[in-house]
């Protein structure tokens, strides 16, 4: 038995989110079946489904998108959980994101990004219904994404590319979003096919 990936080990057994997958003999030690990864994603209830779509008028490099999202992940945790979120032993008590890049196709000519966000309902420091909390976080993330221009490596300021944030209302919808986000992953995948912000 092996862990699906090294990054996944950060979610320890006490968090009740780690999952083991059988190692396929035809795969290298760094590879694992996509179907096992998708089943692992189904053990979570994601709260937001985010799509970021660079366009010809506002292109954005993968690393720049990831860096901006890493900052947003930190800021939303700090704003809605508190400064000590990084010291939490249980990663399920904080926001975290998992992202998948997808190459362009008909209707979406450029490479784009799908993100699933884990939502720590019980830890959020604002009152109100789950729907209200979703809207507060959604608006805050959208504001953070839009608030700063995108600077290229030549220090050329450009508008940021569009971001679409959808609330995932049910566990069934969460599973559908996870499968949709992973539909273009290779059958035998490895760590480079996705990324975590945790």
Give the model confidence (pLDDT) of 96-118 as tens digits. 999 999 886 555 557 889 999 99
38 Cβ neighbours under 8 A, 6+ residues apart: 178, 179, 182
Give the model confidence (pLDDT) of 126-156 as tens digits. 988 888 999 999 999 999 998 887 776 666 7
- Pick the residue with more confidence: 27 or 48? 48
For residue 164, the surrounding DSSP H or E stretch is strand 163-167
123 Cβ neighbours under 8 A, 6+ residues apart: 80, 81, 93, 94
């Amino acid at each position: 038995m092996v862990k699906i990936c090294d990054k996944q080990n950060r979610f320890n057994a006490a968090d009740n989110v780690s999952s083991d997958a059988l190692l396929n003999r035809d795969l290298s030690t760094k590879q694992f079946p996509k179907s096992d990864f998708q089943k692992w994603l189904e053990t979570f209830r994601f709260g937001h489904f985010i799509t970021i779509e660079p366009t010809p008028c506002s292109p954005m490099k993968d690393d720049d998108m990831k860096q901006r999202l890493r900052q947003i992940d930190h800021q939303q945790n700090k704003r809605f959980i508190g400064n000590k979120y990084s010291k939490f032993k249980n990663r399920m008590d904080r926001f975290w994101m998992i992202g998948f890049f997808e190459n362009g196709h008909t209707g979406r000519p450029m490479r784009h990004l799908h993100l699933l966000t884990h939502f720590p309902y019980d830890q959020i420091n604002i009152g109100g219904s789950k729907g209200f909390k979703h809207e507060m976080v959604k608006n805050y993330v959208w504001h953070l994404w839009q608030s700063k221009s995108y600077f290229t490596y030549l220090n050329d300021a450009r508008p940021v590319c569009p971001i679409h944030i959808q609330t995932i209302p049910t566990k069934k919808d969460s599973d559908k979003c996870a499968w949709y986000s992973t539909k273009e992953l290779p059958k035998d995948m490895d760590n480079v096919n996705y990324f975590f912000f945790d």
